[in-house]
Every structure is written in C-alpha cells, then in structure tokens.
Chain A
Amino acid sequence: MTQDPLLKATTPSWMEAPSEDDIVISTRIRLARNITNYRFPRLQTEEEATLIQQKVTSLLASQQYRALPMDELSALERLVLVEKHMISPLLAKRKKGASLLIRQDEQVSVMVNEEDHLRIQSLCPGLQLQQAYDAANELDSQLEQQLEYAYDEKLGYLTTCPTNLGTGLRASVMLHLPALTLTNQMKQLIQTMPRLGMVVRGIYGEGSENLGNMYQVSNQITLGKSEADILEDLQAVAEKIILREQQAREQLVERAALTLEDRIFRSLGTLRYARTLTSEEAATCLSNVRLGINLGYIHDVSIATINQCMMLIQRGLLQQHTDATLQPEKRDLVRATLLREQLTESHTEEHNNGEKGEDIV
C-alpha cells in the first residue's frame, strides 16, 4: 500500500499558503455532532463504533474524502497526524472504529468516533473565520440530510461534554505572539479572556505550555450564543490581540532595538550552526527568526521555510522525515542537522539574488 501524502513529512496545506498577516498563522473551526440513539464513543461497543465509522465513511466516499482508519496506521503515522494538527491525541489513541476522513484539498476533514461521533473540522491559513466556518457548515448541512443528529430544540446539538453543547462550535485562531510574551503581557491576557467567553492556550491544545510563542485563542461558550455571534466575538478579540502584539513589537523596536536584533540574529546563528538542538530551543529560535523576518531584520529566510521547520522539529515528523527510529539523544542531533540544511539552503538561494547588506551593517 502506498503511503497517504498526508502522512509524509511535508507542511500541511493549511500552513502552506504564507499568509499576508505576520501574526495570525491559521484559523480552525470544529463542529461536534452525534448520531441519535447511539451511545457516545466513550461508552460505545466495538460494533457500534464500526457501524458509525462505516456509515460516515460510505457517505463521504462519494464526495472524494479519503479514509484513514486509525487501526490501519502505525504509531508513528498517527503521531505525524497529531503533529500536523490533523487529528487530536485522543483520536490517535482510540484506534478501533476511529478514522480521519479528509477531503481532497485537505481543508475539510472529519474525525469519526473521537470524543463525539463526528468532529467536522476546517482549517484555513491566516485569519479567515467566516470562510473556515462556511466550509465546515456546508459539510454539516450535507451530512444532516443522511444522518439523524442528536439534537434538542432547547439544548441544540447534544455532545459528550456539556462544554460543547448547543452549537458544538469551537472556533480558534493560532497566533504568534513573541512581543507580548517577551514583555510579560501574556499572563494578564490569558486571565482576562474567560470574562469575554474566550480562552487562550499553548498550541498543543488543553493544558499544554506554549511552544515557540504560539497561542490558540478560541471561544469557550457554545450554548446561548449563535454561530455568527461566536465568530464575530472571536474575530474582535483576535483583532485586539493582534493590535496589542503590533504595539508591543513597535515598543520593542523603539526601546530595545539592539537587544532585539541581537537576540534575533543569535537565534538564526544557533539554527544555522548548532550541532544539537532540543525541540524547545529550536521552537524558541524559530520564533525569534520569524519575528526577525516580520520586522525586516532578516531577508534571506522565508516564512514558508520557518513554517516547514516548525513542523519538522517535532518528534514524529523528524523521524518520518529521516525515515528512522531515533533515540531521544540522537533526535537533538538530527534536528540540528536538519535545521542547518533547511536554513543554509535558503541562505545560498537568496544570496545570489543580490542580497549584500547583511555583512556591512
């Protein structure tokens, strides 16, 4: 069997198009849906799980969705999907009866038998809440004609966890916030969010630390608010955070230009010359270089390269890329080698295009 392109060590399409905006990385929409008269995945039997899996798979097969059943994938392949943010760690664990169904263009996908029977997801680069929602909603409206959803006139879509009840909608925006982190403004921001019905987390979802200054802002409330209001409020909050990050960046440039520039180029130096790198250090350096590109300090590295590196430094993708099982201490070495290659290649490429100034400055 040939390997699905999604399992290869490449940048997922939702990250591919380098967005104009240098703070927002991507937008994600998730709709939680369940089928009436069936127990939720956490209590279902293997037969029930398989039945739902088959039903949804056959419904979507006609619409050019590929099926990736979890029990047909290796542990490494499942890890790669988690690292690419295509599936959740929970789905990777469930295996029997659990699948990822993904549309040809990889923008829309469905996790079957995760916490809920269906988790419709849609991913877009940059800040595109409405577009991402429309894509997920379109599939949802198609599916509801063939599946009888668990829905209550008062409570809306019924979900395993009451935190998703109502619209079942979780909209989130991934943001790169190095200046707010550096100026210690994140803690305060994280604390004020719940009052707005929003939540800020590190990129790896619930309970994880932020890695490389990447944060995810999402709505917390799903009941008593319409989809349009949820999206509108999240858009407003995201815009406010972007503005604050921009202001923090301006202030940093104004007040500590040399320190900032030094930090950025040291990071680039580390990435280009280090012999071993942990994923944490690599993520921090990549974040600094990304900021350096955004601020116009670095010209010979592209955002696309940084995105690619961000993906590749992760444990699973690193092994998939080098096609080998790596011991933890070996990983740091391979990671450093890989980053060196990625960043020096782009260096030489651009260097021929008349890049002269860097050494003279």
Chain B
Amino acid sequence: MHCEHCQQREAAIVMTTMNNGQKTKQHLCHECATNLQTFHVELQDATPLQQLLTTWFGTPAWQQQEQKEQHTTACSHCQLTFQQFLKDGKFGCPSCYDAFHDELPPLLKRLQSDIEHVGKVPHVVNEKMSLKKRIELIRQTMKTAVEEERFEDAAKLRDEARALEAQLLGGDNV
C-alpha cells in the first residue's frame, strides 16, 4: 500500500487524528508521518496563532510530559489552565497574564517583535509611576540624612514618603 500523503513510498504507519471528536485514519510512510506530525494542524483551517503554538509545542514526547506538568497550573481568578489557553490561544481574564507569567516570554517572542510594551501609558498609570519615582527619591535622601546623622531631617522625609505611599495605595482603590 502506498503512503496516502506522498503516494510514492510504502505506507508503514497508521496515523489516527482526532478532529472535533471525529477519528480519521491515514496510512503514511515514515517520512510523511514525521513531517505531518508537526504541521498536521496547519492543514486543517488553523489560524496563524494556533499554527505557531502547535509548532512551538510540537516537541518530542519526552519533553511534552514535562510541559504537561507545567500547564496544569490554573489562573486563580478565572481558573483557566495554560493547557486550555493553548487550545485557542486566548486568555480568560487580565490576571492570566500574571498566572502564566513564566510561559509568556517564549510565546511573545514568536508572536510579537519584543516582550515589552513601549507604547501608550494610561494617564493614571503615568501618575502612579511618577509618584513611585518621587517616593524612591525621598527614600534615598532619607538614607543619606541617616548616614550623616541628621535624624530630624530623616524623620521628616520618612513621614513625607509615608504620606505619598498612602496616596499611592489609595489610588489603587479608585
């Protein structure tokens, strides 16, 4: 019997694929079978993202085992697991980005040009960032004040920093 894919070499492997609960059997030769294994999803109407994900995770069996273990962690807010994410490449809630933080860099490197945002910053976030910077600056001056044994100044600076910190935390609840 000839391989159903290349129609040339002798078929040696029966490949069974599950697609939406439907089983399909294909008789393939060694060469086509190995080739098809990595891109068979591409042949069904896969979106580019899915293609990328399957190619990325289309790793040998011994490595897949390791990955499965990692993927059982779920997002604490929406209970989505990384395995579920891989199915359609979509997250469940903003907290997923925290939950799967470690998985992101390799994924983003493939999808995007970089792994860090360089564009627009919302006004509120901008204000928070400048507040954080001011607190840091005060803390540094406070440190030098302590080193120079100007404790009264240091105490004043400490109160100032605390007030700003309260403002920063208060801003979170708005």
Contacts and interface: CB of A to CB of B under 8 A. Distances in A.
A225 B117 CA distance: 7
Interface string A207-223: 10000000000000111
Contacts, number: 119
Nearest to B45: A207
Nearest to B93: A39
Size band of the interface chain A makes with B: 35 or more
A190 B96 CA distance: 33
A137 B123 CA distance: 12
A161 B119 contact: no
Contact of A153 (B91, B113, B120, B129): B129
Contacts of A151: 121-122, 125
Given A141-B123, A155-B97, A169-B119, A39 B92 contact: yes
Contacts of A42: 90, 92
Contact of A152 (B45, B113, B117): B117
Interface stretch (A30-38, A239-247, A296-304): A30-38
A149 B115 contact: no
A147 to B, nearest CB: 10
A115 B90 CA distance: 9
Contacts of B90: 40, 42, 115, 160-161
B91 A40 contact: yes
A144 interface: yes
A221 to B, nearest CB: 5
A36 B94 CA distance: 6
B123 A154 contact: no
Contacts of B64: none
Contact of B108 (A36, A165, A167, A227): A165
Interface string B101-143: 0001001100111111111111111000100000000000000
A162 interface: yes
A144 B124 contact: yes
The 7 A-B residue pairs with the shortest CB-CB distance in the complex, in nearest-first order: A224-B114, A156-B117, A150-B94, A223-B112, A167-B119, A224-B113, A39-B93
Interface of B: 45, 47, 49, 77-78, 80, 89-94, 97, 104, 107-108, 111-125, 129, 174
Interface of A: 34, 36-40, 42-43, 115, 137, 140-141, 144-145, 148-163, 165-167, 169, 197, 206-207, 221-227
